[in-house]
Amino acid sequence: MSKLGGVLGPTSARLLGAVLLFAAYAKAIDPRGFAVRLHDMLPVSAAAAYVCGLAVVAFEAGLGAALLGGSRHRRVLLLASATFLVFVGIVTWQLVRPGEAAACGCFGQLLERTPWQALYEDLCFVVLSSLAWVGGTARPAVLRTGPSVFGAGAGIALALCAPWLPLDDHATALAPGVTVEATHLDEIVPELRTGRHLVLLLDRGDPETGVRIAQLNERLKLPGGPTPVWGVADDDPALANAFLWSAGPAFEVRGAPPRMLRRLYRALPRSALVDGGHVVATWSGFPSDATLDALGRGQLP
Amino acid sequence: MSRFVPGTVLVTLLASCWSFAHGAIVELVPTGQFEVQGSEVHRSLQLPAAFLVSPSPFGRPVFITTGPLTARLLVPARLSRDEADPEIVRVDTSGPQEDFLSVRPDGENLIVDRNGLTMTLKASPPLLGDRTLEELIRALPDYRRGAARYTPDPASLAKLRHVQPTELLVVFGSWCPHCAEAVPRLVRVLQDVRDAPITVTFHGVPHDGTRDPVTDDLHVTGLPTAIVRRDGKELARMEGDQWASPERSLLTLVATPARSAGGTH
């Protein structure tokens, strides 16, 4: 038992450390997306949710680094057990509270799970955190904070830099190669299942987007250009009408539930070229003028 | 005067660009999405959207374009109706543009004014509560046109005419884009099987988060949802992709055995 305990405990702890580091990374590459999920789940303001999101990233990365680094300190193991119990509590509250349960954002868009899947998974992690105690906690007696500080710092640094890093394809469900079914865009624009289309994910409240629409209309030779263009935006009728007056899009803009749309971008606008039911290219923002001109001629950029 | 002339030239140029982009003729149909008190509002079939408000407080019909946003008074010679489909109004936008009005967005509304006389084009309030088929298509001309464009499967229609007496409750939002796509298809099906023993009620729900007792009681989670009932007992629901071909879906659903704990309305 002591030999098994000597392996089981540290292995479980390192496994939990890896899980926490992965979770911190998934959140850090799209901190605003995680803040939106926190805002959905917890009674906090949007600004507070962003700060809470950064704190969660720092905490998970710090604790994960400590566990992966082999720390067997009582406080570290206690914190790990408490963390996963809190996760179970939050997910359970999501399931029992009135209204639709928000999807768990534990692993961002990298690993999407339903609230029930999240509950089962977190229960497994609670068991794993209990196993991490097997084998004792005495060595080393001194708490080494180096790995935690490094992990937390790296997590925060990544979260702060992430908006400027080209991680959209990696961090969202809209990436070259995926099917339109996987993006759920076909539920909003069934026409995407066949043919070639340019899809523009828009923020209808953004004045700059409104200004760019006239240029898009012209370069893509709309209406009636060779590449059909679809706008997709939050389904807010008030914003839709205001956008209609201010931007005058020569393409159809369809509304989508914000929760569905949020999986597809880190920042708006974002664009994608769909061909034969598959995403073949994506752009952060709008495509370049050269790309728009190519699409306006009916060519692949 | 010196300030007025460049403004007029600019608006004329923008309108000319719009005319160039759209060709000389713009076809418009009645819409229930926008309203002007005391007037009929038509919306263009093409994009960018254009609107015709007639009559208007300015004495002549007002033609509004988006992308760029302009508004002007039309002379009667520019207007004509389609002979085959009198609902379609054509506006001839060719040649020199005349009689421009001041126009500006005000949130989701559009304000058109001249010399202190103002006209507001605003989004219609949502259609709420229970409506019959006739009331629905009278209130929402866009649905009527959407229905006219849809061609249901004739074999399914023939079978639907001989189903057992069935009640249909369609929960929808007149503001909901998915409903505007889907519900007109069902409208067409119901128009084509008027002699079938199917009684239908359309229930419009609000958008602004206000709770609706019907959607709450019946646990409706998405729009549109059609609840199929027989003798007050729920048989099935038409949701999501089933709206792509409502006649086929309906035919399948009316053959569904009644749920033991069916909801009533």
pLDDT tens for residues B209-248? 567 888 888 888 888 999 999 988 999 999 988 999 999 9
Q: In terms of DSSP H, where are the helices of A69-99?
A: 74-96
Q: Is A181 on the interface with B (CB under 8 A)?
A: no
Torsion over CA of B85, B91, B95 and B97, rounded to 10 degrees? Answer: 170
Whether B86 and B20 share a structural domain: yes
Shortest CA distance to B66 belongs to which of A221, A250, A234? A250
Shortest CA distance to B229 belongs to which of B170, B169, B171, B186? B169
Residue in chain A lying closest to B64 (CA): A245
Q: Let me know if residue B264 belongs to a domain.
A: no
Q: Does B264 score more than 70 pLDDT?
A: no
Q: Give the dihedral sign, CA A257/A259/A263/A266.
A: positive
Q: Let me know if residue B177 belongs to a domain.
A: yes
Shortest distance, CA B175 to any CA of chain A (angstroms): 7
Q: Does B13 score more than 60 pLDDT?
A: no
Domain boundary among B76, B94, B123: B123
Residue in chain A lying closest to B14 (CA): A214
Domains belonging to chain A, first-starting first, are 2-163 (no CATH), 180-296 (3.40.30.10)
Total count of domains within chain B: 2
Rg (CA), chain A: 23
Q: B25: which strand partners? A: B92
- From CA A184, how far away is CA B182, in angstroms rounded? 17
- From CA B120, how far away is CA B36, in angstroms rounded? 6
Shortest CA distance to A281 belongs to which of A292, A289, A270, A272? A272
Instruction: Show which of residues 225-284 on chain A sit within 8 Å of chain B, judged by CB atoms.
Output: 235, 237-242, 244-252, 254-255
Q: What pLDDT, on a 0 to 100 scale, did the predictor assign at position B226?
A: 95
Interface test with B, best of A236, A241, A259, A261 (most B CBs within 10 A): A241
With bands split at pLDDT 50, 70 and 90, how would you rate the model's confidence at B256? low
A28 touches A157 (CB < 8 A): no
Shortest distance, CA A100 to any CA of chain B (angstroms): 9
Q: What pLDDT, on a 0 to 100 scale, did the predictor assign at position A167?
A: 93
Average pLDDT over residues B44-57: 92
Which residues does chain A have within 8 Å of residue B65's beta carbon, measured at their own beta carbons?
248
Distance spanning both ends of chain B, measured CA to CA: 65
Whether A250 sits inside 8 A of B244 (CB atoms) is no
Interface test with A, best of B22, B66, B120 (most A CBs within 10 A): B66
Q: In terms of DSSP H, where are the helices of chain A?
A: 2-28, 31-41, 46-68, 74-96, 115-131, 146-161, 168-171, 180-183, 185-188, 207-219, 237-247, 258-262, 289-296
Whether B107 and B185 share a structural domain: no
Q: Is B21 on the interface with A (CB under 8 A)?
A: yes
Residue percentage of chain B with pLDDT more than 90: 54
Average pLDDT over residues B122-139: 92
Shortest distance, CA A39 to any CA of chain B (angstroms): 18
What count of CB pairs under 8 Å joins A to B?
A: 61
Shortest CA distance to B188 belongs to which of B237, B131, B129, B137? B137
Shortest distance, CA A246 to any CA of chain B (angstroms): 7
Q: What pLDDT, on a 0 to 100 scale, did the predictor assign at position B159?
A: 92
Whether A248 sits inside 8 A of B69 (CB atoms) is yes
Whether B162 and B143 share a structural domain: yes
Q: What pLDDT, on a 0 to 100 scale, did the predictor assign at position A95?
A: 83
Whether A223 sits inside 8 A of B49 (CB atoms) is no
Whether B175 and B101 share a structural domain: no
Which residues does chain B have within 8 Å of residue A241's beta carbon, measured at their own beta carbons?
107-109, 123
Return the SS3 of B12: helix
Q: Let me know if residue B262 belongs to a domain.
A: no
Whether B84 and B194 share a structural domain: no
Number of other residues whose CB lies within 10 A of the CB of residue B199: 14
Number of other residues whose CB lies within 10 A of the CB of residue A290: 10
Return the SS3 of A48: helix
Residue percentage of chain B with pLDDT more than 70: 86
Shortest distance, CA B165 to any CA of chain A (angstroms): 32
- From CA B11, how far away is CA B112, in angstroms rounded? 14
A231 touches A210 (CB < 8 A): no
Of the two residues B228 and B67, the one the predictor is more confident about is: B228
Domain boundary among B90, B107, B123: B123
Whether B70 and B157 share a structural domain: no
The minimal CB distance from B48 to the residues A241, A242, A249 is found for A249
Q: What pLDDT, on a 0 to 100 scale, did the predictor assign at position A101?
A: 61
Whether A237 sits inside 8 A of B108 (CB atoms) is yes
Return the SS3 of B117: strand
Q: Does B12 score more than 80 pLDDT?
A: no
**Neighbouring residues of B7: CB distance < 8 A, sequence distance ≥ 6:** none
Q: Which domain holds residue B94?
A: 4-123
User: What six digits make up the tokens of B92?
Assistant: 């001839």
Lowest mean pLDDT among A102-116, B89-103, B168-182: A102-116
Q: Does B183 score more than 80 pLDDT?
A: yes
Shortest distance, CA A31 to any CA of chain B (angstroms): 28
Whether B108 sits inside 8 A of A242 (CB atoms) is yes
Q: Let me know if residue B207 belongs to a domain.
A: yes
With bands split at pLDDT 50, 70 and 90, how would you rate the model's confidence at B262? very low
The minimal CB distance from B105 to the residues A213, A245, A249 is found for A245
- From CA B122, how far away is CA B119, in angstroms rounded? 10
**ipTM of the modeled complex:** 0.73
Residue in chain B lying closest to A242 (CA): B108
Please classify residue B227 by burial: count the beta carbons closer than 10 Å to its beta carbon, then call 0-12 exposed, 13-18 middle and 19+ buried: buried
Lowest mean pLDDT among B9-13, B26-30, B122-126: B9-13
Q: Which residues of chain A have pLDDT under 70?
A: 1-5, 98-104, 138-143
Q: Does B156 score more than 70 pLDDT?
A: yes
Q: Does B114 score more than 70 pLDDT?
A: yes
Average pLDDT over residues B100-127: 92
Q: What pLDDT, on a 0 to 100 scale, did the predictor assign at position B257?
A: 61
Domain boundary among B101, B123, B145: B123
Q: Let me know if residue B16 belongs to a domain.
A: yes
Whether B54 and B105 share a structural domain: yes
Q: What pLDDT, on a 0 to 100 scale, did the predictor assign at position A140?
A: 57
Whether B181 and B229 share a structural domain: yes
Whether B133 and B250 share a structural domain: yes
Whether B134 and B198 share a structural domain: yes
Which CATH number covers residue B184? 3.40.30.10
Q: What pLDDT, on a 0 to 100 scale, did the predictor assign at position B263?
A: 42
Q: Let me know if residue B152 belongs to a domain.
A: yes
The minimal CB distance from A255 to the residues B67, B108, B177 is found for B177
Instruction: Show which of residues 203-232 on chain B sit within 8 Å of chain A, judged by CB atoms.
Output: 207, 221
Whether A251 sits inside 8 A of B177 (CB atoms) is no
Q: What pLDDT, on a 0 to 100 scale, did the predictor assign at position B4?
A: 47
Whether B155 and B248 share a structural domain: yes
Whether B123 sits inside 8 A of A238 (CB atoms) is yes
Q: Let me know if residue B244 belongs to a domain.
A: yes
Q: What pLDDT, on a 0 to 100 scale, did the predictor assign at position A176?
A: 96
**A126-138 tens-digit pLDDT:** 999 999 888 777 5
Q: Let me know if residue B211 belongs to a domain.
A: yes
Whether B50 and B108 share a structural domain: yes
